[in-house]
Amino acid sequence: MERQNLTFRQMAWNALATYGFCFLWVITIQLGLFFLGALLGADAGKGVIELVMPASQSQPSTFQALIWAPFFEELLYRVLPLSLAAAWDKGDGRLIRFTMIAFCGVLFGLGHGSVVSILFQGVLGYMLARLFVKNYTSMVGAYLSCVFVHFAYNYTLTFLYVMAS
């Protein structure tokens, strides 16, 4: 992976833009489910939250969702696959990078429980992998920017889940 020459401000803006996109994605899906539920006469009150974190599953603790998951999952789903892709890449890297980003998204979605999760967490996984590549001034800088966005996303979902309960 080619090191980017970015300032902290540019890296922060990239992270904020990634979080904003992911937040808008969840809100868009939530509104779609709400209107679909209204058309069908069903209660779509919890919408995305119920699909992402079904009541039948045991809910993660706050520590797991806000601390453990961002640090561990970013290592597993971003740092490891993208580092391997960079090590094997001898050409311009576009095809391998895109494949790994898409792989990171699908793997991240499946790692969260179901095929439906690919729609929600898969998009987040793709966007985080994209952020990792874009903010690659160093391995640590790219990793920490992804951890921050992952934390913010999990915090938002946890907050919405608590509010919907």
Helix H or strand E segment including 147: helix 139-164
Cβ proximity of 117 and 5 under 8 Å: no
| Sole residue written with tokens 């992911």 | 22
Q: What is the pLDDT of residue 123?
A: 87
pLDDT digits (tens, 9 = 90+) for 124-155: 899 999 999 899 988 999 999 999 999 998 88
pLDDT tier, 2 (very low <50, low <70, confident <90, very high otherwise): confident
Higher pLDDT, 130 or 163: 130
CA-nearest of 16, 8, 5 to 146 is 16
User: Encoding tokens for residue 76?
Assistant: 């597993």
Q: Contact 66/155 with Cβ under 8 angstroms?
A: yes
pLDDT tens digit string along 3-47?
Answer: 788 999 999 999 999 999 988 887 787 777 767 766 766 555 455
Mean pLDDT over 113-133 rounds to: 84
Confidence at residue 56, expressed as pLDDT on a 0 to 100 scale? 52
DSSP of 64-95: IIIIIHHHHHHIIIIIHHHHHHHHH--S--HH
Of 157, 115, 136, nearest to 22 by C-alpha is 157
Backbone angles phi, psi at 41, to 5 degrees: 75, 15
Q: Tell me, what's the pLDDT at 72?
A: 94
The residues spanned by each domain of the chain are: 8-164
User: How confident is the model over 41-94, as pLDDT tens digits?
Assistant: 655 545 555 555 555 555 667 888 889 999 999 999 999 988 888 877 777 777
What residues have CB less than 8 Å from 45, skipping those under 6 apart?
164
Specify the pLDDT at position 47. 55
